[in-house]
Structure 1
Amino acid sequence: MIDVTINRKSSGNIHSFEISGHAFFANRGKDIVCAGVSAVSIGAINAVHALTGVTPEIGQGEDGFLRCVLPDLPEDVNEKVQLLLEGMVISLQTIEEDYGKYINITFKKQEVE
């Protein structure tokens, strides 16, 4: 199963996200769930960088691990970044609605910023 964790600040803004695991929906190279999650998450990170100039801290590893942490940003830039990341969340939730047996999304909220 793919586990997605979206970490929000107490304000509700996304601070970071982590993705790990494999869907095992189909054989390697034919797994549309893994491909969809990868395309949505990497696409969001690329969009943040290309459209806002912000370079998040990225960590990648084995077993499909991806971690993205946002730096502190000016409010005007943060609004744009948040919109892009909320779009990613909606896309991931759409995948979860159709393939919930293979992906689980968890939201965590920090109490202190």
Structure 2
Amino acid sequence: MTAQQPAPLWPTIDALWSRLEATRAHAGREGVLLRILKLSEEVGEVAEAVLGATGQNPRKGVTHTWEDVQSELCDVAITALVALRTLTPQADEVFDSHLTRVRERPLTPEA
């Protein structure tokens, strides 16, 4: 049995972005804002999955698994990267540059 190869990140994000662009109902600034607003919906789904995995709603009980939470977190990351790609065709460069800055930030307050 061979392991499945991971999808290449940025070509996959570009392909998803292209598919979404081809079917987008709202263009221009409104379309961009709606694409970014989609992040809030996805974050809400993470919260729902965490609450469901921990059984925090006594009326519903346990409705999700921690695998559901993982999946929803992946959706948040994908949605954020597609939103970034919507803002710039150089999303990979912008992200890599920002990731480098975050990696190099000190974890403690500077004196």
Asked if Structure 1 and Structure 2 have the same fold, meaning a TM-score greater than 0.5 normalized by the shorter chain, the answer is: no
TM-score between the two structures when normalised by the length of structure 1:
0.34
Answer 1 or 2: higher relative contact order, Cα 8 Å, separation at least 6: 1
Structure (1/2) with the larger helix percentage: 2
TM-score between the two structures when normalised by the length of structure 2:
0.34
